[in-house]
Amino acid sequence: MTPGTVYLVGAGPGDPELLTLKARRLLGEADAVVYDHLVDEALLDLARPSCERIFAGKKPGVLCRPQSEIDTTLVSLALTGKTVVRLKGGDPFIFGRGGEEAVALSDAGVPFEIVPGVTSALAAAAYSGIPLTHRLHSSAVVLLTGHEDPAKPDATVHWEDYARLNATLCVYMGVKNLPTITRRLEAGGMKASTPAAIVQSATTEGHRRITGTLGTIAELAVSEGVAAPAMLIIGEVAAFSDKLAWFEPSQRIPVAQ
């Protein structure tokens, strides 16, 4: 049997209306959808009633499918001739393990395509009035994972080095390690007065932003009860948020089916 194609599709940051037209079309054509925890359920409704829906999400602190099992599921579905959409929050190639899944598909001889999605850093910034680049304030953007324990000896993210780049830093999955991250950035020379913002559940009904500085943002996150998913943005451009933030969850228009 000729293998079906697996589409690694970015679902975007949460707002269903940020889905691409190609992603919408593929959902309507899929025989099976393998989806993540943060994917809005409205997107699953775009699939045909006969489409098989398989949850493969990961929740912090909750036992979930190992990546190897997800890879095997995608390969197995495709080898039965099915068209498969692997629906991933944000963009599949930015902290989404899309690269690992693509390698597994390639090794198994399964055809695949990558469909980009709006990644959380871009959406959280845009919906919170933060221009990640600005002619006068920032000419570089760095995407970092905060999930890695900053205290481990073999950590691959050397925060002190990024403190000296004079760039906008966007930190994914950094709530748990936020105190250590901010402390190490200060140790690397970044001023405690550097503007910072946390955006929780960006673009959704739960969207909220907390603004402060590098020196205060960790304490603010605790006092405000910030929880994942949340994006940390550090840099001079974060100061624009208080003036340019435009999004209010209550103003969202329901997605037409």
Q: Which residues are catalytic?
A: 36, 58
> Residues 203, 15: contact at Cβ < 8 Å?
yes
> Residues 147, 230: contact at Cβ < 8 Å?
no
| 207 φ, ψ (degrees, to nearest 5) | -60, 130
- Indicate the pairing of strand 195-200 with strand 230-234: antiparallel
Query: Could you tell me where the beta strands, DSSP code E, fall in the chain?
Result: 6-10, 32-35, 52-55, 84-88, 112-115, 141-145, 168-172, 195-200, 208-213, 230-234
Name the H helices within 64-170: 67-79, 98-107, 120-127, 159-162
Peptide bond into 229 cis (omega under 30): yes
